[in-house]
Structure 1
Amino acid sequence: MIQFNVSLLFTIINLIVFYLLLKKFLFKPVMGIMEKREKMIADGLKNASDSQEEAARLKAEYEKALEGAKAESIQIVEKAKKTAAGESERILQEANTEAVGILKDARKTIENERKQTMNDLQSEIAGLAMQAARKIVDDTKGNQDIYDQFLKGAGDAHVNEEVK
């Protein structure tokens, strides 16, 4: 059996005092440090979670802005294409109108030059005919009436051409 003597009593008292000292100077500070550390870790996890949520929100905003920018750029490109097509069509119409005007002017010029050439040729033919008639008349002085009729016919033909 166990003997109860004074040394056992001192050993028990020493253990109780040692426990109280350990509790006062070791366990409480260590427990306080552990609680602070636990709180610090919980706060860190909460901050990380908040930061992650903020990053996700910012990412969603960025993606939304990026989609808007893409849609706007597509819209700008389409508008530029339509404007370019309209401008191209307008330039082609102007060129066609100008070409038609140039062709009309060229045709008028050609027609005027043709008429002028015809008039010149008729005048020259009339002159040649008059010279030929003069030679004939000079040769045959008696054909004065033929000469007058010819001149009258040539003059009428010349006047009719100018009227046209």
Structure 2
Amino acid sequence: MSFDYLVLGASGQDGLNIWDSLATLFFFILLMALLKKVAWGPLMGIMTQREELIASEIAAAENSRGESERLLEEQRDLLKEARTVALAIVENAKKQGDASREEIITIARSEAIRLKESAIREIDTEKERAIAAVREEVVSLSVLAASKVLEKEISEEDNRALIEATIAKAGEVN
């Protein structure tokens, strides 16, 4: 087929046929109207739905991001509060430890003082007993020595009273 056949048309006439052009234009417009009604409307509906879906997903993502930021900030605040509470607990435990240490030291010192005073009293008691025992021994020895010296026996009670008086005078001199 040549170009001449298309220009001349099927009837073999020269030039353009207006009626053919109008018919082509009419069918083109009819085809466009049908396409608009049958294909373009549903296609645009699908595109609108898709646009709404994307918009709602973007809004949901923004809401999720905002919620995530809020939760993150809340977690940070809780962490900060937990740190503060932990520091307060440590500080309180430290103070209680110091107080317990001071109390233990005070109790230990008072116990040491009590033990020292008890030991001093016990020493004094034992010293008194030793002195009394020594006096008794001195009295007995003195009575024995005096009875041998005098070769005369005086009553033991008289001797004892005499020796105790002598020892008492000797103790006053010291």
Q: TM class, shorter-chain normalised?
A: 0.7 to 0.9
1:1-54 Cα deviation digits (max 9, x unpaired): 741154443332222211111111111110111111112111211111121011
Helix, strand or coil at the partner of 1:86: helix
Q: How does 1:10-89 map to 2 (within 5 A)?
A: 10-89=23-102
Q: Is 1:156 matched up with 2:136?
A: no
User: Corresponding residue for 2:112?
Assistant: 99
Give the whole-Å Cα distance in 2 for the aligned partners of 1:18 and 1:109.
131
User: Corresponding residue for 2:123?
Assistant: 110
- Identify unmatched segments of 5+ residues in structure 2: 1-6, 8-14
Give the whole-Å Cα distance in 2 for the aligned partners of 1:117 and 1:124.
10
1:69: Cα distance to partner?
A: 1.2
CA RMSD of aligned residues (A): 2.5
Q: TM-score, normalization: structure 2?
A: 0.78
Give the whole-Å Cα distance in 1 for the aligned partners of 2:86 and 2:144.
85
The verdict on how the C-alpha distance between 1:55 and 1:150 changes in structure 2, with shifts beyond 3 A counting, is closer
The verdict on how the C-alpha distance between 1:149 and 1:40 changes in structure 2, with shifts beyond 3 A counting, is closer
Query: In percent, how many aligned pairs have the same letter?
Result: 29
Specify which structure has the bigger relative contact order, considering alpha-carbon pairs within 8 angstroms and separated by 6 or more residues. 1
Bigger shift: residues 16-25 or 3-12: 3-12
Give the whole-Å Cα distance in 2 for the aligned partners of 1:40 and 1:4.
51
